[in-house]
């Protein structure tokens, strides 16, 4: 199911105007595989996610890092306006946690766990479009976390919802 969603996303990206900084054309996806060449060619989206993952660890972000992550994702065209609203909920959850606690709280945000918690607690009460945005952001955060692990060589077992 997740693979189908990813395929649909990539097909929509090719039909929409080009993302700033990335030139993807239909002819680049129609290349034939040369004998002896590696048949796997990462998509533009996978390359952008790897680039972002090399800068940010979504399991340990400060509030400032979360803002920079959001800016970088928007720069690469990986977030739209409704997705930004979902990311802003992570800021709100972090601020609520700090206000409710009497003692100092570690101000780092684990976007991976927080987005999973947000989905389990609030997805059923969200309107359809917000729920779809939540699913897109959750998939993006999971992809970033996975890319970070593959770049660092970690093999942490995570529960994906």
Question: How many domains does the chain contain in total?
Answer: 1
Domain assignment present for residue 148? The answer is yes
Residues 83-96 have a mean pLDDT of: 76
Q: What was the pLDDT predicted at 29?
A: 47
- 104: pLDDT confidence band, cut at 50, 70 and 90? very low
Return the SS3 of 109: strand
Any domain includes 21: no
* pLDDT value at residue 72: 92
Q: Give the CA radius of gyration of the chain.
A: 17
User: What pTM, to 2 d.p., does this model score?
Assistant: 0.65
Asked, for residue 147, whether it belongs to a domain, the answer is yes
Residue 116 placed within a domain: yes
CB 10 within 8 A of CB 45: yes
- 114 lies in some domain: yes
Residue 47 within a domain:
yes
Query: Residue 109: beta bridge partners?
Result: 61
- Residue 123 within a domain: yes
pLDDT at 10: 63
The residue segments making up the domain with residue 101 are 42-152
C-alpha pair distances (Å), 2 with each of 76, 130, 136, 161: 21, 18, 10, 11
Model confidence over 21-58: pLDDT tens digits?
445 554 444 555 566 666 788 889 999 999 999 999 99
Is residue 94 situated within a structural domain? yes
- Top pLDDT among 26 and 87 is at 87
- Placement of tokens 């996978």 in the chain: 46
d(Cα 58, Cα 64) in Å, to the nearest integer?
13
């Amino acid at each position: 199911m997740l693979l189908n969603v990813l395929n649909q996303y990539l097909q929509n990206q090719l039909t929409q105007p080009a993302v700033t900084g990335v030139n993807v054309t239909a002819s680049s996806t129609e290349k034939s595989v040369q004998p002896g060449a590696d048949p796997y060619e990462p998509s533009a989206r996978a390359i952008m996610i790897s680039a972002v993952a090399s800068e940010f660890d979504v399991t340990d972000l400060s509030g400032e890092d979360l803002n920079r992550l959001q800016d970088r994702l928007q720069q690469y065209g990986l977030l739209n306006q409704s997705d930004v609203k979902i990311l802003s909920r992570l800021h709100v959850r972090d601020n609520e946690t700090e206000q409710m606690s009497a003692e100092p709280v570690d101000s780092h945000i684990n976007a991976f766990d927080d987005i999973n918690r947000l989905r389990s607690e609030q997805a059923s009460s969200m309107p359809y479009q917000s729920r779809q945005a939540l699913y897109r952001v959750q998939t993006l955060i999971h992809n970033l976390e996975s890319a970070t692990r593959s770049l660092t060589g970690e093999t942490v077992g995570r529960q994906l919802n």
